[in-house]
């Protein structure tokens, strides 16, 4: 693992959404709890296990956990209902404006559906800062497959040596590597730092502002 990517001729940045741009962990917990109790019934919703699979498409997580696919409908319903509780991480809006002013191509590649991701970012007033926002329902294979990152690069008109992917889950890093782009770990959310570090990302960001230094060829310790 390198402390930085120096030099790196970055032209485009692909972001994961939850845990990188927005703090949605509390809303996810509430939505998952409601969905579990509506579909499965009483008992403690296994949110801790669910959180280990963040970055993946919700139906894929249900399959991995052996939970009913029918949980998706109430989960999505509650996520929309509670969307006004989601906030951007400190420093992210300034970061996005600076990257946009710097001429970087910006995309989102999320485990959410595309319509839900775009609705959320629109409600936060930052949708127009991104060239493209892609959801897992808009590619053939969701993360950790490379499809969503490859599609983002295709739309942005850039190659893998010009692109980095910022994620807070091992799934994000795996998708980035499979697409041949730099895999960068974001540590400011609810992610498991030990798991991310064990995945040996190409760079580690502890605050959103550090990304500017990385894009400008700075070295991050």
Query: Is residue 135 in a domain?
Result: yes
pLDDT at 3 over 50: no
**Selection from 217, 130, 141 nearest residue 179 by Cα:** 141
Name the catalytic one among 18, 60, 168, 172.
18
pTM of the model: 0.91
Distance CA(170)–CA(198), nearest Å, equals 9
**How does residue 9 score in pLDDT terms, banded at 50, 70 and 90?**
low
Mean pLDDT of 163-186: 95
Question: For residue 134, how many other CB atoms are within 10 A of its CB?
Answer: 24
Domain limit, last residue, from 62, 85, 108: 85
131 belongs to the catalytic site: no
* Spatial CB neighbours of 135, under 8 Å, sequence gap ≥ 6: 110, 111, 112, 113, 114, 115, 116, 117, 118
202 belongs to the catalytic site: no
**Selection from 66, 23, 29, 22 nearest residue 44 by Cα:** 29
Are 139 and 188 within one domain?
yes
Q: Could you tell me the residue range of the domain that residue 66 belongs to?
A: 25-85
H or E stretch at 1: none
Are 72 and 163 within one domain?
no
pLDDT at 215 over 90: no
Are 207 and 123 within one domain?
yes
């Amino acid at each position: 693992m390198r402390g930085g990517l120096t030099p790196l001729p970055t032209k485009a940045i692909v972001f994961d959404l939850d845990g990188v741009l927005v703090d949605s962990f509390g809303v996810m917990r509430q939505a998952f709890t409601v969905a579990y109790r509506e579909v499965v019934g009483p008992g403690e919703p296994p949110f801790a296990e669910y959180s280990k699979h963040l970055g993946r498409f919700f139906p894929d997580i249900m399959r991995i956990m052996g939970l009913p696919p029918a949980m998706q409908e109430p989960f999505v319903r509650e996520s929309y209902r509670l969307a006004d509780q989601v906030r951007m991480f400190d420093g992210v809006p300034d970061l996005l404006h600076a990257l946009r002013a710097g001429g970087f191509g910006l995309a989102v590649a999320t485990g959410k559906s595309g319509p839900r991701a775009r609705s959320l970012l629109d409600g936060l007033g930052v949708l127009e800062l991104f060239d493209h926002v892609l959801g897992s329902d808009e590619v053939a294979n969701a993360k950790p497959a490379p499809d969503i990152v490859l599609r983002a690069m295709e739309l942005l008109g850039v190659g893998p040596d010009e692109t980095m992917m910022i994620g807070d889950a091992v799934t994000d890093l795996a998708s980035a590597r499979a697409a041949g782009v730099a895999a960068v770990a974001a540590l400011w959310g609810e992610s498991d730092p030990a798991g991310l570090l064990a995945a040996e990302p190409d760079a580690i960001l502890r605050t959103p502002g550090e990304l500017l230094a990385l894009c400008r060829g700075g070295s991050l310790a």
